[in-house]
């Protein structure tokens, strides 16, 4: 079989309302994650590691920081016609923005006409996982289907949180139904307590993708969504296959994190995903050198841990500390600190996530909280200790008691 030309599309126009206030000033895929990363880095790293060298990132909502991150971090060689390009909504089909993920591709068909790929890989920009898409592409070509949908096994009790894929009893790769958050899910034949949940990643034959979004664009009743409209259309015509992530073998993966996948669409899932990183044997391992997650290379000094004026060194337990950070006689536990964090004498940071350049003053306490960039917690102040008091101060507090402080706020 002749080599196929493959083109990658990252859908990165999401508004991310459920992550407010972290998305008040940035697109969801640009939200910092795990200290040095942005959420979009996981999708892009997976595509690059899989051998894709022509990739576009379709952006829309408050895209400045995302566009800047892509341009500064993801530079490939123009000598080999390899590139990752941020493409904002261009209003090519009239004075309107993207009406959905399928409409984003419809309005960007000029990109496919320019490159003329055989295969198009379409992925979301806000999931945390590792995946070798070259193996999924091979499975797609073998299936003969117009689209292949990536799926991960989830407990049947959680089926009402996902788009659930049902398969043919005689052919476990052929999709017979695609159901959004079903209340009466059907378990898998080989694992009745599990279902196949869509990961929001797709491999299309380029011509069938073009045909599908063109037809969808003419439907007034469509929401113009990839998972809600395009995939069900392929399923109804018997032209959709599923790729079970259990078939994917990522180099360097461990049994503990081999099939890890997180949709970090809420504050709770965002917080939990960070907790998955910090144990000695993490549920998701950032230190896999055979399948690296790439990020912006910061011109920053190493993190520094020093004694305070009284000689107290402090303690740092089960935590990630990013470049440029300075910890002086403080206690840090089960937390993730972004670049250039400063934690002063006697401060306590527990079960928390700090973004870039957060400053925690002497004797302050931060517990079960997320602090956006350049937040300053004044000496002796508290965040997350009293959720009711946090709400009274105008901070976001989730039902599970996570306090979120927006960018640049001074807490006293």
CATH number where 319 lies = 2.160.10.10
Q: Which segment of 42-56, 66-80, 83-97, 105-119 scores lowest on mean pLDDT?
A: 83-97
User: Domain for residue 281, yes or no?
Assistant: no
**Residue 289 in domain:** no
User: Helices marked H in 204-266 — which ranges?
Assistant: 206-217, 231-236
Distance CA 163, CA 310 (A): 56
Question: How many domains does the chain fold into?
Answer: 2
- Answer yes or no: are the C-beta atoms of 242 and 148 closer than 8 Å: yes
Tell me, yes or no, whether 294 lies in a domain: no
What confidence tier does 331 reach under pLDDT thresholds 50, 70, 90? very high
Q: Of the ranges 66-80, 90-104, 163-177, 389-403, which one carries the lowest mean pLDDT score?
A: 90-104
- pLDDT, residue 2, reads 56
Domain with residue 149: its CATH number is 3.90.550.10
Q: Please check whether residues 218 and 358 belong to one and the same domain.
A: no
Cβ 54 vs Cβ 8: under 8 Å = yes
Read off the tokens for 33.
């994650």
Does residue 76 surpass a pLDDT of 70?
A: yes
Q: Give 352-363 pLDDT, tens digit per residue.
A: 999 999 999 999
Residue 167 clears pLDDT 80, i.e. is over it = yes
Own/partner contacts of 160-164, CB < 8 Å, gap of 24 or more, are: 160/185, 161/197, 162/195, 162/197, 162/198, 163/197, 163/198, 163/227, 163/228, 164/195, 164/196, 164/197, 164/198
Given the DSSP bridges, would you call strands 147-155 and 194-205 parallel, antiparallel or unpaired? Answer: antiparallel
pLDDT digits (tens, 9 = 90+) for 98-138: 778 898 999 999 999 999 999 999 999 989 999 999 999 99
* R_g over Cα of the chain: 22
Q: Kindly state whether residues 154 and 219 are assigned to the same domain.
A: yes
For the chain, give the mean pLDDT.
91
Question: Which pTM was predicted?
Answer: 0.93
Contact indicator for 59, 89 with CB cutoff of 8 Å:
yes
Residue 213: pLDDT above 90? yes
pLDDT for the residue numbered 236: 92
143 and 203 inside one domain = yes
Q: Same structural domain for residues 269 and 315? A: no
Q: Which residue range(s) make up the domain with 168?
A: 6-275
52-58-60 Cα angle (round to 5): 160
In a domain, 286, yes or no: no
Is 163 labeled as ligand-binding? yes
- The arithmetic mean of pLDDT across residues 332-342, rounded, is 97
Measured CA to CA, the distance from residue 381 to residue 365 in angstroms comes to 6
Q: Are residues 235 and 315 in the same domain?
A: no
Same domain, 196 and 250: yes
- Are 205 and 347 within one domain? no
Residue 30: what are its φ and ψ, rounded to 5°? Answer: -90, 0
Q: Residue 101 has what pLDDT? A: 87
What pLDDT was estimated at residue 290?
95
Specify whether the CB–CB gap between 226 and 102 falls below 8 A.
yes
Is 142 annotated to bind a ligand? Reply is no
Model pLDDT, residue 189: 86
The annotation status of 198 as a binding-site residue, yes or no, is yes
Residue 93's pLDDT is 64
Residue 293 placed within a domain: no
Domain shared by 177 and 245, yes or no? yes
In a domain, residue 282? The reply is no
Residue ending a domain, among 256, 275, 294, is 275
- Statement to judge: residues 244 and 343 lie in one domain: no
Has residue 296 been placed in a domain?
no
- DSSP per residue, 32-80: EETTTEETHHHHHHHHHHTT--EEEEEE-TT-HHHHHHHHHH----GGG
**Domain match, 312 and 269 both:** no
| SS3 of residue 370 by DSSP | strand
- The answer on 235 and 313 residing in a single domain is no
Same domain, 239 and 310: no
Separation between Cα atoms, residue 367 and residue 333, nearest integer Å:
10
């Amino acid at each position: 079989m002749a080599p196929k030309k493959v083109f990658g599309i990252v859908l990165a126009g999401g508004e991310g309302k459920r992550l407010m206030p972290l998305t008040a000033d940035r697109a969801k895929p640009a939200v910092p994650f795990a200290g040095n990363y942005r959420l979009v880095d996981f999708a892009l790293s997976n595509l690059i590691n899989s051998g894709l060298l022509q990739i576009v990132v379709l952006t829309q909502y408050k895209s400045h920081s995302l566009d800047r991150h892509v341009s500064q971090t993801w530079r490939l060689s123009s000598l080999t016609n390899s590139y990752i390009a941020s493409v904002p909504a261009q209003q090519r089909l009239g004075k309107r923005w993207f009406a959905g993920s399928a409409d984003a591709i419809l309005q960007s068909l000029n990109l496919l006409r320019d490159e003329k790929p055989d295969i198009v890989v379409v992925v979301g920009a806000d999931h945390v996982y590792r995946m070798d898409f070259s193996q999924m592409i091979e499975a797609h070509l073998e299936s003969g289907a117009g689209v292949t949908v990536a799926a991960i096994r989830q407990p049947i009790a959680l089926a009402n949180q996902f788009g659930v894929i049902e398969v043919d009893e005689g052919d476990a790769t052929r999709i017979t139904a695609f159901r959004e958050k079903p209340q009466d899910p059907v378990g898998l034949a080989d694992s009745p307590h599990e279902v196949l949940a869509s990961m929001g990643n797709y491999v299309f034959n380029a011509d069938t993708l073009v045909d599908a979004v063109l037809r969808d664009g003419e439907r007034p009743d469509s929401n113009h969504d990839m998972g809600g409209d395009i995939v069900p259309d392929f399923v109804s015509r018997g032209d959709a296959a599923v790729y079970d992530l259990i078939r994917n073998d990522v180099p360097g993966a461990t049994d503990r994190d081999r099939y890890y996948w997180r949709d970090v669409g809420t504050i709770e899932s965002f917080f939990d995903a960070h907790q998955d990183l910090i144990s000695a044997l993490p549920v998701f391992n950032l230190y896999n050198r055979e399948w690296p997650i790439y990020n912006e290379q910061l011109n920053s000094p190493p993190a520094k841990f020093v004694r305070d004026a009284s000689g107290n060194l402090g303690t740092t337990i089960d935590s990630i500390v990013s470049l440029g950070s300075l910890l002086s006689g403080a206690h840090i536990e089960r937390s993730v600190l972004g670049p250039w964090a400063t934690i002063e004498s006697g401060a306590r940071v527990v079960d928390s996530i700090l973004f870039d350049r957060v400053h925690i003053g002497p004797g302050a306490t931060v517990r079960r909280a997320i602090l956006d960039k350049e937040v300053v917690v004044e000496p002796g102040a508290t965040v997350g200790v009293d959720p009711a008091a946090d709400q009274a101060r105008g901070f976001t507090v989730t039902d599970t008691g996570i306090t979120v402080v927006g960018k640049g706020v001074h807490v006293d």
